A and B are shown apart, each in its own frame.
Chain A
């Protein structure tokens, strides 16, 4: 059997499996709303409740038995040890009697209990909703206060040289929260409903007394209702409590519970089948690495659905991260086009951009003006440094890969000293004690924090569209695209493509390489500013060191080679790279909880791709 036939057969099998799963899902999904499905849930709930209360009841029996045994022993006139023995014996016997599986649940009439529980659930839900709303209102009212406090705390920590997490956590202190009247009345109603449940329980377990009921209230409330409850959550909760055997006679509970996951798996199977069917076309069009990473990304999407992570939030984050990284990736384009291959000396541009950003804070130029000022200053410095850098590259033709890497590392190290001695005075920038700039400089609304992200941004569900950021990204791409179509751009590409050809046409090869390098460096400066405004912090010292590599690997994922690239490679590559990282971390955390696997994954992916690209850089430029 040839490979293509085998692929087709597997694809068909997968498709059939997918159809089966879809049908199963389609049959079972509506059951969640139907009487059948709800009945499954109710059965489980009742069983869980009976199990939980049953333990309380056993304790009651034990208590009664112990008391009787003690009284009997005393009456018999035995010593202390005899009394203790009698008590222990009674306890053991009672426990053995009641905790055994002898309790026949099916014999118990639970109609009353179920009705009471339904009522109790409604009441609990109303009460919880009301409480949540009230609390949210309180948080909204006090958020700014808490934010300022958290920020002050964070800055104090940074000033003290402690490590701080990337994301700033704002916690509103709830100690001042007072329950509203509505809340209290609803709570009272819930209590009332609980009373009914208690009555029903007493009907089932005669020994159950009010004392036991009081102890059990929390447990029962948790069984009946929890915040954000839905079918799957309740089902999982009851199964976890060990009530699965209640479903002996009710088939299909599992399928109803996993109906949505059936759809996801079916989707994944269809994607796999399509990939197999069009494998050759895909590989020819995109190349194996892109197919693999694309599939990995899709796999992560399905896994985040399976693990009930919010896919739209994750995708939204991916889009933001794509936007903030894209300009730095775009900076690779002129470099590749003019023949210096991957511009791993990008940190030159990044440092220039950072200086521009620092100046706006130092001079206290806020808002849009500050952002534009930072970009202009950054570009200016980047252009000058880029020109010098290009002179170096022109004198060391053929060794670009090592020169760019070396320059990238050395500029970062050089700037580590410079950050310490540059005469900035603003207290936002300097360490409070001693000299030098801080490691991480927080941007706030008086600077250009989120200035592009928040521009015209809107929400679709959980998906936040950072319109301004995306528009700026597209604008930059458009400008670079236009340039690549200009006379100079065409000549520059010829230099990168075949320097001898260009020379034969009388093109000044060195000049074109300078133009490309300067352009790349300038884009790097713009890129780091866009990145910082979205991230909310400017990172100095060793932070820019890895960014050149990240940008390089992103464009390589996108399909560029070290000698050929297009704008589409930038967009695809950045999205895939950042998408895999953003989705990969939460999924990895679910898979291997409490590990640092996500960080390992990030390093593996970004460095692995660079390695892969370098093995390809020698030849085979046409994918």
Chain B
């Protein structure tokens, strides 16, 4: 126990096939410190933790390069269970509790204290009697140490979400020999006061000598809790900082960084703010994992508005809510006309089109041909590409074929022909089919949600260029939602940043990395600067 670091991960490199997701990352955690692990989505935080816990996904994809040292000894963690026996615990983002069991039973699950009885002597260990008194006193101790006054015989079912988080932590603490605890976004589901309480508990745990790795995107919490900080960016180590020697602004900058060159260059311009294309007031969307809690903004006619933010913060909820793919409420006006929510047909009929982020789930009929996909909405919503045959309204194959061929040429969809099934296309070409379907509708307003997710660079460029062309040549108002800040900056006129279901700020694409970083962690840059300036 005399080693300087309880955990050292040295030069970790991990590849999934051709894709390098971690490259030469090192992480060192001292005993009893809170070590924050920062990074955007896809920066490699979870992969690093998967390596630490020896998740099967790592072993089945060829393992990793580099060393993991616990207390100065090199170890090979073969499975999450192995990690547990070696003294590494995890507090999950989604609770792993059995709702019908009591707090004690959950805390002691699979580590029950038992004594032998007649049957167990006969039939084996599985029939031993539970020593409830001993178990509950243990649980009590663990609960006390996380500052929970809740009765240890309460059932988990029906407890407030915040309490479950603490029960989960208590379970990890109760394990004997825990040296290192990993908290994966523990505050994401907590209220502010609960989050404060949690940080207090974390500090108490750290004082007792257990090291903590604290994964989060909330910079203010990092500043409040962490002793040292490791920042990952694009699978690389961006920096390691001592909490006392850094500022939130620097952390934000390090987290965002400049990622290469912009793929598409647009000339900066002034979009007149005289006509509002889309007015959104107090929009709430009930989309699991992407809730929107009261967002208001205006989109001006002829502009490209980017919406950014980290995953799970609600940026995807905005287009999906307005297009009525999920239950939503609030006031939405399109070009001055009120838009009825919760009716997908109405939004389409009003002239909004959307290219969904969930291409395979919502975006495409995978078993049907490209041409049928392209004209589907126009046929169903606007009644185009149809002709009358007696009492029946049939699809007009000739017109459909002509339109499909035109679109295939315009958007450069690589395929064998318009009758190829869309499910057999590559991701980029599927995305182009989705865009084609939106365009065939002749929309006044276009939502593009994560248009470049999972497609190759060439296709990315073409998709972005197409969006710019539509905007410049046809004056189409576009709202683009994307996790790739660089993309948003390269083509948007303004960028709205969403955090925890709320709009934090609308920034100019030229704003500094630090501003974007702050906004993504939920801090309005202008206010922070004011505070910071005032303090100095």
Contact = CB atoms under 8 A, between A and B. Distances in A.
A169 interface: no
Contacts of B46: none
Given A490-B379, A491-B380, A505 B348 contact: yes
Given A487-B383, A506-B380, A622-B421, A501 B364 contact: yes
B344 A504 contact: yes
Interface stretch (A49-57, A371-379, A466-474, A492-500): A492-500
A487 B361 CA distance: 22
A493 to B, nearest CB: 7
Interface in B348-396: 348-349, 354, 356, 361-368, 372, 376-377, 379-381, 383, 386, 389, 392-395
B351 to A, nearest CB: 13
A487 B393 contact: yes
Interface size for chain B: under 10, 10 to 19, 20 to 34, or 35 or more residues? 35 or more
B365 A494 contact: yes
A31 to B, nearest CB: 55
Q: Which of A487, A497, A501 neighbours the largest number of chain B CB atoms within 10 Å of its CB?
A: A501
A498 B190 CA distance: 36
Interface in A570-589: none
Interface string A129-157: 00000000000000000000000000000
B64 to A, nearest CB: 31
A596 interface: no
A496 to B, nearest CB: 9
A112 B367 CA distance: 80
A497 B367 CA distance: 7
Contact of B380 (A483, A485, A490, A621): A490
B394 A506 contact: no
Contacts of A488: 393
Given A500-B361, A501-B363, A506-B380, A482 B356 contact: no
Nearest to B391: A486
B380 A504 contact: no
Contacts of A563: 367
Given A497-B367, A506-B346, A490 B325 contact: no
Contact of A487 (B344, B349, B372, B380): B380
A487 B386 contact: yes
Given A487-B379, A506-B345, A497 B389 contact: no
Contacts of A229: none
Most buried by B among A487, A490, A491, A507: A490
B343 A493 contact: no
A564 interface: yes
B323 interface: yes
A84 to B, nearest CB: 87
Contacts of B380: 487, 490-491, 494, 505-507
B280 to A, nearest CB: 19
B423 interface: yes
A503 interface: yes
A487 B367 contact: no
Given A505-B345, A505-B377, A506-B348, A497 B383 contact: no
A620 to B, nearest CB: 12
B460 to A, nearest CB: 24
A503 B367 contact: no
A486 to B, nearest CB: 5
B346 A500 contact: no
A506 B381 CA distance: 8
Contacts of B366: 497-498
A621 B367 contact: yes
A506 B344 contact: yes
Given A504-B344, A505-B381, A498 B364 contact: yes
Contacts of B363: 501
B32 to A, nearest CB: 49
Nearest to B345: A506
Contacts of A485: 394-395
Contacts of A486: 392-395
Nearest to A493: B368
Nearest to A500: B362
Nearest to B343: A506
Contacts of A506: 343-349, 380-381
B395 A504 contact: no
A486 B397 CA distance: 11
A334 to B, nearest CB: 15
Contacts of B395: 485-487, 490
Contacts of A490: 372, 376, 379-380, 395
A497 B368 CA distance: 8
Interface in B246-264: none
Interface string A24-68: 000000000000000000000000000000000000000000000
A600 to B, nearest CB: 37
B372 A504 contact: no
Contacts of B348: 505-506
Nearest to A503: B344
A564 B349 CA distance: 29
A42 to B, nearest CB: 66
Interface in B395-425: 395, 421, 423-424
Contacts of B346: 506
Interface in B306-350: 323, 325, 343-349
Contacts of A482: 389, 392, 394
Contacts of A504: 323, 325, 344, 354, 356, 362
A580 B394 CA distance: 37
A494 to B, nearest CB: 6
Contacts of A621: 367
B290 to A, nearest CB: 15
Contact of B365 (A483, A487, A497, A503): A497
Nearest to B348: A506
Contacts of A507: 345, 380
A74 B359 CA distance: 114
Interface string A536-569: 0000000000000000000000000001100000
A622 B345 CA distance: 30
A491 B381 CA distance: 11
Nearest to B320: A504
B312 to A, nearest CB: 20
A512 to B, nearest CB: 11
A346 B118 CA distance: 58
A503 B347 CA distance: 12
A318 to B, nearest CB: 31
Contacts of B381: 505-506
Given A494-B376, A503-B325, A506-B343, A564 B394 contact: no
A622 B364 contact: no
Nearest to A496: B367
A505 B325 CA distance: 9
Given A490-B395, A507-B380, A501 B365 contact: yes
A459 B224 CA distance: 94
What 8 pairs across the A-B complex have the smallest Cβ distances? A506-B345, A506-B344, A487-B393, A497-B365, A486-B392, A485-B394, A500-B362, A504-B362
14 contacts: A483-B392, A485-B394, A487-B393, A487-B394, A493-B365, A494-B380, A497-B365, A497-B368, A504-B325, A506-B343, A506-B347, A506-B349, A506-B381, A622-B423
Given A482-B392, A505-B345, 4 more contacts: A486-B392, A487-B379, A498-B365, A506-B346
